[in-house]
Amino acid sequence: MTTPASTDPWLIVGLGNPGPEYEMNRHNIGFMVADLLAQRMGGRFKRAGKAQAQVLEGRLGAPGPASRRVILVKPMSFMNLSGGPVNALRDFYKVPLANIVAVHDELDIDYGTLRLKIGGGDNGHNGLKSMTKSMGADYHRVRCGIGRPPGRMQVADFVLKDFSSTERKELDWFVDRAADAVEALVAEGLERAQQSYNS
């Protein structure tokens, strides 16, 4: 895998489903993180031409040499078709695969826990599965733990339910920390971001 140049842009993809009925679902934490990053960048999402996505172009990080050019993306194609819009934007903005970050919910990590990595499997996550099918697996992931479903609840039912009232007490803190992790990854690289945020 070629090492990206420091001038290459980053494509940060918050994974989720469009529409108000999905807004507070566990599956939509990627959208929540993307919305917070958009606030930090001081911009608003807009429809991206022919790509089924909302996009915000700007810079992340402290002003000066440390700031990075970023294209923030929320695919509007529904989770299991996320790869098409992301790959189209990757081609349009000429982003190296190693400069793509998927922010997503992760069942196998406890709620409130973050793990950052590059590459690997999709662990049954349809958004990652679609992205990997479209462009390969060697992109970064910011994995936001949501825990396993209780009892015999089906995974699909669990991820498409809203965060519980107990979880919502910590949700703002969790989303804020995940956004910090994305910024650290872009500014400092994977290893340093892992040291700070992998728990």
Separation CA 4–CA 1 (nearest Å): 9
If phi > 0 it is left, if psi is from -120 to 50 it is alpha, else beta; for residue 19 that is left
Angle, vertex CA 193, rays to CA 116 and CA 73, nearest 5: 60
Residues with catalytic annotation? 27
Strand partners, 74: 54
* Look-up of token digits 């679902």: 25
End-to-end CA distance of the chain: 27
Handedness of CA 36, 40, 46, 47 (dihedral sign): negative
Helix orientation angle between 83-93 and 126-135, rounded to the nearest 10 degrees: 40
User: Which residues have CB under 8 Å from 65's CB, separation 6+?
Assistant: none
Separation CA 27–CA 121 (nearest Å): 18
